[in-house]
Amino acid sequence: MNRKIFLVLGILAIVLGVGVSSAAFTVHQTNQAIVLQFGEPKRVVAEPGLNWKIPFLQNVLYYEKRVLNLDPPVESILLADQKRILVDAFARYRISNPLEFFKTVRTEGGVRKRLGPIINASLRGVLGNVTLPSVLSEERAVLMLQIREKVNTEAGRFGIELVDVRIGRADFPSEISEAVYDRMRSERIREAAEFRAQGFEQAQRTRAVADREATVIRAEAEREAEIERGRGEGLRTKILNDAYGRDEDFFNFYRSMQAYEQSLSGQSTFMVLSPDSEFFDFFSEISTIGSRPAK
């Protein structure tokens, strides 16, 4: 009898433990929960902590409280200046009403399908009225604020709040990019050619100035050299004249020796002169001196 009582009590304890574990659930501080009964929402639990539900009849669906990411597909947009760009935007949102979220989109995948087209439509609506310089300037922050306000108006019915919308990249399509790059390349080549022409012109001007200055310097140097050479020649002539005035015989002898040296310096020298020529006067005097008897 006691065994049966213990067995029944044990079974009741197990059933009670399973029931309690099935009835209790914990909501983390980064989450919020919806209690469902046969797929129908019964209540929303937004505060963290331990909570209870009817075991086996109710289940819990958890949603994030933190900011979530949404990356819609790249959108092609025609700007007001008729320039087409590819806009890659991203958004940050938060689930503000989990009950509406559950009724409309249920999951984050559903948000991507419903909110992505809304963001791209808002991008087209706002950016389609501005030019490319506005998109690439500081004015883009104002444009993003307008886009966020428009998206928030639509996102409220999904139980979400859009925190931010940003443009990650705004590029031209590939064919336009190639044309832009070709134009930029041509412009750079033209500027480089212009700079080279200006540099060549400056070099020619500098070279001409340097040549003119060099010509002037050479002319001045040659003039100074001629002046100094004339002074030297004058001084030389004066010295020779003074020497000739002091000793005429020695001067004649010195000049004759120079003439002999210059005339007879070659390896083979032929001279046709008369024996009594003045050119040989000093040779005759030397022969006469050599034939005189010694005293």
The dihedral region occupied by 28, where left means phi > 0, alpha psi between -120 and 50, and beta the remainder, is beta
Domain termination residue (choose one: 171, 193, 223): 171
* CA dihedral for 14, 19, 21, 22, sign (positive or negative): positive
CB 89 within 8 A of CB 167: yes
Do 97 and 154 lie in a common domain?
A: yes
Is the residue at 9 inside a domain? no
Please report the pLDDT score of residue 34 as a whole number. 93
Q: Do 34 and 98 form a contact (C-beta atoms < 8 A)?
A: yes
**Intervals of the chain under pLDDT 50:** 287, 289-295
> Does residue 35 share a domain with residue 102?
no
Q: How many structural domains is the chain composed of?
A: 3
Q: What is the pLDDT of residues 220-234, one digit of tens each?
A: 999 999 999 999 988
CATH code of the domain containing 118: 3.30.479.30
- Confidence at residue 282, expressed as pLDDT on a 0 to 100 scale: 61
114 with 163, same domain: the answer is: yes
Note whether 101 and 59 are same-domain residues. Answer: no
Do 58 and 117 belong together in one domain? Answer: no
User: How far is it, in rounded angstroms, from Cα 229 to Cα 246?
Assistant: 26
- Provide the pLDDT for residue 76: 87
19-39 tens-digit pLDDT: 667 888 899 999 999 999 988
The residue segments making up the domain with residue 251 are 238-262+278-288
Q: What is the pLDDT of residue 212?
A: 92
> How confident is the model at residue 294, as a pLDDT?
43
pLDDT the model gives residue 295? 40
